Structure 1
C-alpha cells in the first residue's frame, strides 16, 4: 500500500472521530499524522512497528494502526466508526465547504442523512439558521451539489429550462426563416432530462455547424450527417437535427414521442404517410386525435385519442389558489402577510392554504399546540384585514411511525384542512410503508396526502409503496393526493395520475413553498399533471374559493 491511501484512511478516521465528538487531542494527533504521512519522502510499506514508531508525528499508538492497515487493508477503529455512520453522512463529508463539525449539525440536529436530503433542505432554506451556517454557505453547498448531480448526465427539468430556452433563442437567430422546435424529453416536459433535441427545417448543416461552434453556450460541437452534437456548459447533451423542410413534421413527430409511443402511432397507419405538412395529419392518418407532447410517452392515451376522448389538460392559469406552503412560523422565509400579499397581488390567486410543519418536525421549528393557536389568531386577523383574499388554516402533519397524525383530535379539528406527510423513518419495507400511509389516510381529518413516496429525484428513491392500495384508500376515504411541485419531488409520480383519476381521487398541485419564489414551482407541477392527464375539474386548487371551502367543510363533517 502506498502512502497516499494510508494518509486518506487516517484522514477519514480523524474526520469520523470529529463527527462523533471523540477526544479532540486524539483527533488532532491523527489528522497531523495523516498530513505528515502524505508528505513523507519514503514508503511506509515494509517497515516494522518499531520503525514506524520512530517516524516524527506517528508514535506508538498510530504505528500500531498503520501496521494493522498495511497488514489487513483496514483498521478496526475505522470500521467501528464507519459502522456507526450512515453511508449518506459519510458521502456528505466529501462535499467541499463543509467539514465534520458542520456535517454533525446537519445530521444530528437537522436529521439529514444523505446528499439528496441536504440539497432539498438547502432549497427549503433550512441551513441558514443552523449554527455555523449562513446564506453564503448554503448557496455554495447548492452549487457543489448541483455539479455532483450533473455528473451522471441527467438533470432536473427545472435546472436546465433557462439554458435550453436561451439556446433556442440563439438557434432562432441562426435559422431565422427555418422551421424549428424543441423535441424529445424537454418537449414532453419530462421531470428528468438527459438530452435536448432540437429539430430544424434546414439543410444548411455546414453553415449551422460553423455558427453553433462559435456560441459561448455550447462546447464540443461536432457535425455528423444531419446531426450537430454538442454540450451545454453544464454538460447536458444537445442534438440538433437538420432536415429538409418537407420532412420536418415527420422528424419532429418521431423525435418528440418516446419509442413506444411513436411505434404505436405508426402501426395504425396503413396507407403511405408521404410527407405530412403538420403533426396533426400524422395522428389523423392513424385514426387518432392530435396528442399534446406531454402525453406522448407509451401507449397510455392512445385508446382515448382513438375515441376522440383525450382530456382537456389543465393549465397554469386554471389554478385559483395554492395549498401546502410554509411561513416563518416554521421553516419558511416569508411571513404570513408577505405570502398572502404575494399570492393575491403578484400571482392573482384567490386563496392560500398555509400548512407549516407540525410539532414532531423539530428540525423545521414545527408548531407546538400553543403556537398552532397563536397562528390561528394571526390568520383570523389577516382574513379580516385582507380584501379579496382568504387564508385557510392548515398544517403539514407528520405521519408518525404507527400511521397516526401529529396532534390529538381536538387540535386536528381546528384546521380547515390537513396535509398528512411522512418525513421520518423513510427506510421502510413496502408493506409497512403502505400500511402506515393507509392508517393516516383513514384518519377522518386527513384532507391531502402529501408527497406519497418521499422521493427526491436524482437523489433519493423514496420508500416503496403499493400505489394501488394507497390510491384505493384515498378513494374510499375522500382524500386528495398531492402532486408536490418541488422539482426534486414531483410526487405523486405522473404515471399514477390516471389510476387515481379513474378512481375519482382529486389531485392538488402544491408548491410546498418555503419562500415566495417557491410558488413558481407550480409550473413544474402543472408539467407533470399534464403528463398524467389531469383536468382542471379534478384539481383541488383549481376550484374557486367557494368550491374549495365546501370541499373542506364536507371533509370535516365526514360527508
Structure 2
C-alpha cells in the first residue's frame, strides 16, 4: 500500500470512532498519526517495522502495530468492527462538506438518515434545519454539497486518471504491439471522466478474448459493443473504454478519440470538417492531418474547442511553456511551517534539479493550523537564508543559485494581508492566498481578493479560487475583475500545479495573457518530491496557451531579482 492509502485508512478509523462516540483520546491518536504521516515521504511506510514506525512523529506503539497490519492486509480488526456496524450509506455521508462525524451521528441517530438520498429528502422538507445545531444555513450547505458530490461521481483527478491509464496500458501491451491513451488523459484535462484506450488488433474478437481473460476488468455488457469494450477496472470508479482499431488506422482513430466535439467540427480549407478529414484517408501523423486540412497544427492538450486556432494566429507551438523553460520554483514550504523537509534540503534539491532559484513561501502567522511563522520565526528564517546563500555564492556553481525570501501571506477576512507592513517589506516577494472564510458571496469574495491585489506588497495571487478538484468548489470570484486588477497593479497570477488544485483554471489563461498579466507555475511543494507537480502545472498551462514569455518563473535569476527590485521601488 502507498503511504497515502495507509493515511486514508487511519483517517477513516478516526472518523468512524468519532461517529460511534469512542474514547476521545483514541480518536486523537489516529488523527494525530494521520496528520503527521500525511507529510512523511522519506520512506515507504509499508516497508517499515513497528519499531521504526514508533520513531516517527505522532506514532505510538499501538498505532505502529496497526500500520504494520494495514500494510500487510489493507485493514485491521478495529476498523473492520467499525465498518461492520456502520451502514454503507452513512459512510457516503462523509463526502458531504460542512458536516463532520458528530453531525452525521446526529442525523443518523435522531432522524434515522442512513444514506444520501434520505439526507437530501430531509433537507428538502426542512427536517434537517429543525435539528439543534443545524439550522437553515447548514441545511442549504448540505444540499449544495450533495449536488456537487453527485456531479463529480465517477471522475478522477488528472494524476489519478493518468496512473490508471498507465496501469491499463501496461496490461494491454503484454498482448498487443500498438496501444495508445486517448480521451481526457491525452488532452491533459484536469478532471478525467473516462479512461479511453485504443488497441490495434487483428480483429475485434481477438481483442475481446484477451479482455475477457483479464480478472481486473469488469465488462458492462449493455454498454459494450463488438468494437468498444466498456466497463470498470478494479479499484477505479471511472468508466473505462477500450476501443478496437483497424490495423493502419491508429493515428486517425487516436485523433477522433482525443479531440473535443467543437474541435472536430472546425471547418477545413476545402469546406469539410476535421472529423470528416480524420474519417478519410489514413495519415501517418497528426501534423499530416492538419496540413492536409489546410490548418495549423494544434497540440493534443489544446483540442477542446476552436479557440486554439485563434490562439495560433498570434502564437507558435514552439512558444508554449515547457518544463525545461522554467528557471525557478516559487511557492514552496519547509519545516518552518508545515513542510516535510528543511529549508536546506528543499534548496539543495532545487539546485540539484538544475533550477536557478528557490522561492520559499512558508505560511504566515494566521495559519496556525499550518504552524505559520511568527515574526520572530521570519527573522530566524531570513538569517538562515542569508547563511545558505553565502554558501551557494562561495561554491560558485553554474548556474548560480539563490534562495528568495518569500511568504504565503493569508488574505484575511477583510482583504488585508497577514503581518504589518514593516514585516511584509522584509520579504523579496509575497504570495497572497485565501485559506479561510470560503463561503462568502461572489461580491464579498471578489471585494476581498480585490483588496489584496491592490495591496502594494502583493507579488503573486496564490491559487485564486481555493478550489480542490472533485472535493471542494472554489469560492465564487468575478475573474475578469480580479485579472483586470492584477494587470493594473502588476500582480502575477498563480497556476497552482498541485493536481488537487490546478488553480487558476486554464480557461482563464488566455484572458490573463491578453491583459498583459504574467502567470507563475508553482508546485505549492510541501516536500522535495512536490516539485514534480509542476509537470501537471505545465500541462494545463500549455492547454491554456501559456507562452514561455508570459511565464513568471521562466525568468532567469537576474531577471527575477531585477523585477522584484523594481516592484519594491514602486512601493517607495
TM-score normalized with structure 1 length: 0.73
- Aligned equivalents of 2:163, 2:419: Cα separation in 1: 42
CA deviation after TM superposition for structure 1 residue 197, in Å:
1.2
- 1:182 maps to what in 2? 181
CA deviation after TM superposition for structure 1 residue 338, in Å:
1.0
CA separation of 1:291 and 1:74: change in aligned 2, threshold 3 A: closer
SS at match of 2:408: strand
CA deviation after TM superposition for structure 1 residue 317, in Å:
1.7
Alignment match of 1:545 (pick from 531, 554, 557): 557
SS at match of 1:80: coil
Gaps of 5+ in 1: 1-10, 20-34, 39-64, 67-71, 92-113, 116-147
Q: Within the alignment, does 1:324 sit opposite 2:326 as a pair? A: no
Gaps of 5+ in 2: 1-16, 26-81, 86-109, 112-121
> Does 516-525 or 480-489 show the bigger shift?
516-525
Q: Within the alignment, does 1:240 sit opposite 2:242 as a pair? A: yes
- CA-based RMSD of the aligned residues comes to 3.6
2:204 and 2:227 in contact (8 A); partners too: yes
> Does 76-85 or 270-279 show the bigger shift?
76-85
SS at match of 2:469: coil
Alignment match of 1:524 (pick from 536, 542, 552): 536
- Report the structure number with the largest CA radius of gyration: 1
- Aligned equivalents of 1:375, 1:308: Cα separation in 2: 42
Alignment match of 1:82 (pick from 134, 139, 152): 134
- Aligned equivalents of 2:529, 2:140: Cα separation in 1: 29
2:509 and 2:546 in contact (8 A); partners too: yes
Give the 5 Å matches for 1:96-175.
Answer: 152-175=153-176
Corresponding pairs, count = 446
- 1:381 maps to what in 2? 387
2:495 and 2:504 in contact (8 A); partners too: yes
1:331 and 1:364 in contact (8 A); partners too: yes
Q: Within the alignment, does 1:368 sit opposite 2:374 as a pair? A: yes
- Aligned equivalents of 2:127, 2:508: Cα separation in 1: 48
1:187 and 1:293 in contact (8 A); partners too: yes
1:174 and 1:208 in contact (8 A); partners too: no
- 1:6 maps to what in 2? none
Give the 5 Å matches for 1:474-485.
Answer: 474-485=486-497
CA deviation after TM superposition for structure 1 residue 90, in Å:
9.3
- Aligned equivalents of 2:200, 2:271: Cα separation in 1: 24
> Does 236-245 or 484-493 show the bigger shift?
236-245
CA separation of 1:341 and 1:14: change in aligned 2, threshold 3 A: closer
CA deviation after TM superposition for structure 1 residue 282, in Å:
2.8
CA separation of 1:282 and 1:14: change in aligned 2, threshold 3 A: closer
> Does 515-524 or 309-318 show the bigger shift?
309-318
SS at match of 1:81: coil
CA separation of 1:383 and 1:216: change in aligned 2, threshold 3 A: farther
2:337 and 2:373 in contact (8 A); partners too: yes
CA deviation after TM superposition for structure 1 residue 269, in Å:
4.0
CA deviation after TM superposition for structure 1 residue 246, in Å:
4.3
Q: Describe the superposition over 1:316-366 as per-residue Cα deviations: whole angstroms up to 9, x where unpaired.
A: 122221100111111111110111111112x22221100011111111111
Alignment match of 1:335 (pick from 321, 329, 342): 342
2:129 and 2:139 in contact (8 A); partners too: no
- Aligned equivalents of 2:24, 2:366: Cα separation in 1: 28
- 1:455 maps to what in 2? 467
2:431 and 2:459 in contact (8 A); partners too: yes
- Aligned equivalents of 2:237, 2:422: Cα separation in 1: 53
Give the 5 Å matches for 1:374-453.
Answer: 374-386=380-392, 387=395, 388=397, 389-453=401-465
CA separation of 1:201 and 1:75: change in aligned 2, threshold 3 A: closer
- 1:128 maps to what in 2? none
CA separation of 1:282 and 1:426: change in aligned 2, threshold 3 A: same
- Aligned equivalents of 1:287, 1:168: Cα separation in 2: 33
Q: Describe the superposition over 1:144-171 as per-residue Cα deviations: whole angstroms up to 9, x where unpaired.
A: xxxx999810000112322311221332
SS at match of 2:319: coil
CA deviation after TM superposition for structure 1 residue 12, in Å:
10
- Aligned equivalents of 2:197, 2:363: Cα separation in 1: 43
1:149 and 1:155 in contact (8 A); partners too: no
SS at match of 2:259: coil
2:129 and 2:135 in contact (8 A); partners too: no
CA separation of 1:150 and 1:462: change in aligned 2, threshold 3 A: closer
1:447 and 1:479 in contact (8 A); partners too: yes
Q: Describe the superposition over 1:210-267 as per-residue Cα deviations: whole angstroms up to 9, x where unpaired.
A: 2223235433376612112232212332212112234433222121111111112569
TM-score normalized with structure 2 length: 0.71
- Aligned equivalents of 1:268, 1:541: Cα separation in 2: 42
Give the 5 Å matches for 1:272-283.
Answer: 273=277, 274-277=280-283, 278-283=285-290
- 2:306 maps to what in 1? 299
- 2:72 maps to what in 1? none
Q: Describe the superposition over 1:417-476 as per-residue Cα deviations: whole angstroms up to 9, x where unpaired.
A: 100011111111111111111111111111100000111111111111111110011111
- Aligned equivalents of 2:339, 2:445: Cα separation in 1: 28
- 2:211 maps to what in 1? 212
2:268 and 2:294 in contact (8 A); partners too: no
1:203 and 1:242 in contact (8 A); partners too: no
Q: Describe the superposition over 1:530-557 as per-residue Cα deviations: whole angstroms up to 9, x where unpaired.
A: 1111112211112211111111111111
CA deviation after TM superposition for structure 1 residue 310, in Å:
4.8
- Aligned equivalents of 2:214, 2:356: Cα separation in 1: 44
